[in-house]
Chains A and B, each alone.
Chain A
């Protein structure tokens, strides 16, 4: 094993243990503070500090997810094929990473509502989400300790396909979650905010997609070929792009006609997010389908 790989592995394991410890600390703090905040009892300055530490800990855990994802993606780049288990690890890692932001948002809301004397229904979501993330953290640490998915060699395929497919899987996750977030505007128009849900939510949801896209671009520059795709890939991408054009045009047409005589502020806010997420989702599904089809 090269020196770099050993350093990387040790760093991952250290961050893994740190993440598990910080999760236990977070659970301890939140279980202690939940009844106090629900009953609007006073919390001390020290406890307030603990709550801030919970937020900071989540950022350290986020670093562990990023490091683990980086490892899995590098493993998959050289793998013969994308097998279900490593793919599951990547997907669960991306979801856990996205939910770190939702944890921070939920805890911030809870704190604000506590200060304003309002009920905090968000507590019901905090623990199940964190339990899921904790399970993923344990799984990632286990994988790192057992060195199950070693990066076999630095000899990359001349032309990549695996990173391109991972990008599509991440695109499906970002697209589905983005459409779900944008659709909430129709059900809760007064609670949906363009800056918070539209812009900030969009940045968070597209963060993993952006990272995957950057890594894919990096592989393309490493390949050093003027043509980024081989002929089969070009054909598949062309078909996916056509399908995306047709479906998103129809979708936007339906949206436009539905609100033609009753242009609500909701549509003015969400038409772009819907278009963007639908484009990413359909393009990604198209590429994955054509790849599976052969």
Chain B
């Protein structure tokens, strides 16, 4: 068993914790999504529909359909549940409508295609498809299809994850216990997921070389906690307490994973530039190890 680690050991976080708690309390809104994305059977039988189907295929079997851009064993659908339809797991229709959006320290406008490129680079620990790549066009068509029926002026909580109230203290040992009791059955004690008997991956790896890298949204515990609370274990949505969801997100997102693609050679500088947020543990020292200091380079199987 690991020694308990609380946020107290993470310098400078306690003030930020309180601020975030207040902000998160405001952010927590009623859950009802504004619309229901169209059914699979509603894909039109025309050229657009063909592109939608191709996008859906990439979404479901990402590495096989877009091998040049996928460096790990995840699929889009690993985190975007119900093939990108389910609210509370970053549904694709709402994501499409939320772009272009401001993002990052520079506050630059990010288009939907650019966001999908980032997904490949970070969540898929791979390489960004170049602008105009057929994979980007197909995924965009799929997302556009999923916007059908959406009202004009879609707002949160339709896209992304519904944030939980911030926790008072994070407890890594408690998170480990939650993980071992409620997650390991499917994802494995070592977090490496589980294959079906034909070798196809059924349960995704949550850390290590086959999982998302340090640049992914899921590498930030507020996203992971929100996703876990709303969706995990499969079929038992909202069965974990907020505290359990936070602690297990803390446990998962303080494991080693591939490097942030924006890494500039210095973990401290990369943290300052891209990870200086509460509950983003990159570059902090947890249980004696500085997260990100020993990471494999990003890119996984797409590296030459």
> Do these two chains really belong together in a complex?
no
Interface residues of A (CB under 8 A from B): none
